[in-house]
Structure 1
Amino acid sequence: MTAIVVDKLTKRFGDLTAVDCISFEIKEGEIFGLLGPNGAGKTTTISMLSTLLEPTSG
């Protein structure tokens, strides 16, 4: 059973695109992590999933 579906999630701050069209699916019971360098959009993605930030699209 699917717990979370993200489809073409994007967040822009003016001219800066922090998260650009990411998609993934997390199934119930899976362990999921976001890995990447500083500035890759990990915190922005989590903030959108937790409704602290409103996505630009997706």
Structure 2
Amino acid sequence: MKPIDLRTLLQGKTGWVSISPDHKKIIAEARTLKTLVKKIKALGNPQGYITVVGKDYSRFIG
């Protein structure tokens, strides 16, 4: 399986985000997980992935 590059999608984002299953768009974003879940429910619970986004990944090795 080929790695998925989310750098351009997540650029400038911080906090919690929900990403579409095709990894092409952000469904919702919020500062806290609780707020993100409320936003997702208001959208009708679309399918996607939830992840936290940091300010800087320059020292990340993975």
Which TM class, normalised by the smaller chain length? under 0.3
Q: In proportion to residue count, which structure has more helix? A: 2
TM-score of the two chains, using structure 1 as the length reference: 0.24
Of Structure 1 and Structure 2, which has the larger fraction of its residues in strand?
1
